[in-house]
Amino acid sequence: MAESTLPRLLIAGLTALPLALALAAPAEAASSARNYFSPGYLGQPVAFCLDGNRDCGRPAAVTWCQANGYDDVLTFARRTSVGSGQLRFADTGNLCEAGNCIGFSQIKCVRSGQ
């Protein structure tokens, strides 16, 4: 009796596997996000603005996320100033030479489902 039960269990398991994979696939494809604390660029913290102290906040965070293979930014947070020459602009990689450079403490990037 045990000999005939085992093949039926294997067949039932193999039949259910494709269904389980099909149900799980949409959840994986929807989107993926990653939270970066103290994000960096070329070994330095990322500046809160793009080069020339223009387009601060979201535009700089989106640029950094896209440079790291993501499509967009979900959230970001600013940190206090760290002085000149210690932050890099996400769009050019240049060092922030101003006296009062501000960086990101956190950037959460998202990759859209395809």
Say what the pLDDT of residue 98 is: 74
The ranges assigned to domains in the chain are: 30-112
CA–CA dist 84, 71 (Å, integer): 30
17 burial (CB, 10 Å; 0-12 / 13-18 / 19+) is exposed
Say what the pLDDT of residue 101 is: 85
pLDDT 10s digits, 21-55 = 344 444 444 579 999 999 999 999 999 999 988 89
Say what the pLDDT of residue 95 is: 92
Q: What is the average pLDDT score of the chain? A: 79
* Mean pLDDT, range 8-13, rounded to an integer: 48
**Residue 96 corresponds to which tokens in the numbers above?**
């922030």
From 19-33, 42-56, 59-73, 85-99, the region with the lowest mean pLDDT: 19-33
Q: Tell me which amino acid residue 75 is.
A: T
pTM assigned to the model: 0.69
